[in-house]
Amino acid sequence: MTLPERHVFVCIANRPPGAGDSCGAGGASDLIERLQFQLLDEGLTERVRVNGCTCLGPCEQGVNVVVYPEGVFYTRVTAEDADEIVQRHLKGGEPVERLRFVEPS
């Protein structure tokens, strides 16, 4: 096994009924599947690992994703965004600006 260059953590947490939005209920599994298929198509599965993780914080903005080692935090990510994240960021090295977390001012 070789260590990957990047880790993509996708929040898969589910909150109790009535406790608000959660990434698990918001399509995290579909996103992980699409990311993995795209990485397979691009031959990047040795260089990039995708993992589900617990709550990343801003549940109401999910599905939330963080990419290391850069620490790029994405919000409101859907399965339809997987190709752009793979092509632009994980393959091309440039974060997808339109999906980046914006600090509240």
- Give the nearer residue to ligand FES in terms of CB position, either 33 or 94: 33
Site map (CB under 6 A) of ligand FES, residues 79-98, x = contact: --------------------
Our finding on whether 13 is near ligand FES (CB under 6 A) is yes
Our finding on whether 11 is near ligand FES (CB under 6 A) is yes
Kindly report the number of other CB atoms within 10 A of residue 52's CB atom: 15
Rounded Cα distance between 102 and 47, Å, is 28
Tokens read off for 41:
């198509």
Size of the site for ligand FES (CB under 6 A): 12
User: In the bound complex, what is the minimum distance in angstroms from residue 33's beta carbon to ligand FES?
Assistant: 17
Site for ligand FES, residues 43 to 72, rule: CB under 6 A: 55-59, 62, 64
Rounded Cα distance between 66 and 73, Å, is 4
Closest CA to 52 of 21, 78, 29, 25: 29
Rounded Cα distance between 103 and 2, Å, is 35
Name the residues that contact ligand FES, by CB under 6 A: 11, 13, 15, 22-23, 55-59, 62, 64
